Amino acid sequence: MDETMLKEEHDKKIGQLKDLFRSLKDESDHKKALYLRKEFKEFLAKCDARDISDAEKELAKEGFTLKDFRSGCDVHLELMRESLGQQGSGIPDGHPLYRFHREHEAISRWEEELLCALRDAESVDDFTDAGDAIGRVKTLLAKLRDSENHSVRQENALFPLLEQRGITEPPKVMWGEHKEMKAMKTSMESALNTITPDNYQVVLSKMEETALLLAEYFSAHTRKEETILYPIAMKSFTDADWNDFKSACDELGYFSLE
């Protein structure tokens, strides 16, 4: 397929995605909303990250707000969660990498719970009623910080073994993405410390934007790990390598999945 045809196909997908996002804005008709969410989910499965990102950027320029995007983004996260569940099927239970797959599922769940908590806190009309939801936000941000132990084990146990075999580019990409996700969490933690009764809805809305970006970014990141990085390791490492990897992970420790 030549470049012109590829561009035409990309532009067509963007147009269809934008129409579906617009349709999902109004969910007052429950039956229609369920049908549209199903249609949107099926179409999303045919799109790549660039299609979705470009459609969202164009809609934002047209005045789409975070609330306008919510239903579509929720469907996207649901699709990514299902995809994550399928990706780990090639890693046998008991293998040292299986723990990493389980961690992906836990982190993804906490990121979605964080989004829900932020929305709950933002939706109340009086700051005094937001206390419980803001407490959940703090708890979930702390869990996500603890889960960075996942990246520490990759960087100090998995990546060195890959690099010893001349496999340097995938670890380099993952290192960079780990830093970006840490920065997103730092941004939310800093914002949380600025909340007052006068600005809480504005601050929480900005935090929700970052939380949504983190959830989508993490999903794309885990897809690379489970479809590229881990299969490379499975093919390249010897039993002795896996023993060394497991020992290094045990020494670095693990975070709770609860």
Examine the domain organization and report whether 52 and 131 are in the same domain. Answer: no
Examine the domain organization and report whether 24 and 138 are in the same domain. Answer: no
Examine the domain organization and report whether 58 and 112 are in the same domain. Answer: no
In a domain, 215, yes or no: yes
In a domain, 84, yes or no: no
221 is in which domain, residue-wise?
Answer: 91-252
**pLDDT for res 84:** 60
In a domain, 80, yes or no: no
Instruction: Read off φ and ψ for residue 227, nearest 5 degrees.
Output: -105, -15
Sign of CA dihedral 120, 82, 49, 235: positive
Examine the domain organization and report whether 139 and 243 are in the same domain. Answer: yes
Examine the domain organization and report whether 123 and 219 are in the same domain. Answer: yes
In a domain, 75, yes or no: no
* Domain end among 46, 64, 82: 64
Tokens of 207: 């935090």
The DSSP secondary structure of 71-117, one letter per residue, reads HHHHHHHHHHHHHHHHHGGGSPTTSTTHHHHHHHHHHHHHHHHHHHH
In a domain, 207, yes or no: yes
In a domain, 258, yes or no: no
Domain count, the chain: 2
CB atoms within 10 A of CB 116: 16
Distances (CA, A) of 108 to 5, 29, 74, 177, 197: 36, 30, 13, 16, 30
Instruction: Of 176, 205, 190, give the one whose Cα is nearest residue 145.
Output: 190
**pLDDT for res 160:** 96
Instruction: Of 258, 125, 152, 134, give the one whose Cα is nearest residue 189.
Output: 134
Examine the domain organization and report whether 56 and 105 are in the same domain. Answer: no
**pLDDT for res 27:** 64
Examine the domain organization and report whether 110 and 60 are in the same domain. Answer: no
* Domain end among 48, 64, 80: 64
Alpha-carbon span 47 to 57, nearest angstrom: 15
Alpha-carbon span 232 to 94, nearest angstrom: 18
Domain containing residue 170: CATH number: 1.20.120.520
Burial of 45-55, coded b for 16+ CB within 10 Å and e otherwise, reads eebeeebbebb
**pLDDT for res 80:** 65
**pLDDT for res 118:** 94
**pLDDT for res 29:** 63
pLDDT along the chain (258 residues), means of 10: 75 88 73 76 76 82 79 71 61 90 93 92 92 96 97 97 92 92 96 95 92 86 87 93 96 95
**pLDDT for res 48:** 72
Examine the domain organization and report whether 54 and 125 are in the same domain. Answer: no
Examine the domain organization and report whether 126 and 240 are in the same domain. Answer: yes
In a domain, 213, yes or no: yes
Q: Determine which helix (DSSP H) or strand (DSSP E) holds 4, and give its type and residue range.
A: helix 3-24
Examine the domain organization and report whether 128 and 56 are in the same domain. Answer: no
In a domain, 191, yes or no: yes
Instruction: Of 214, 233, 199, 207, give the one whose Cα is nearest residue 96.
Output: 233
Examine the domain organization and report whether 229 and 137 are in the same domain. Answer: yes
Examine the domain organization and report whether 124 and 44 are in the same domain. Answer: no
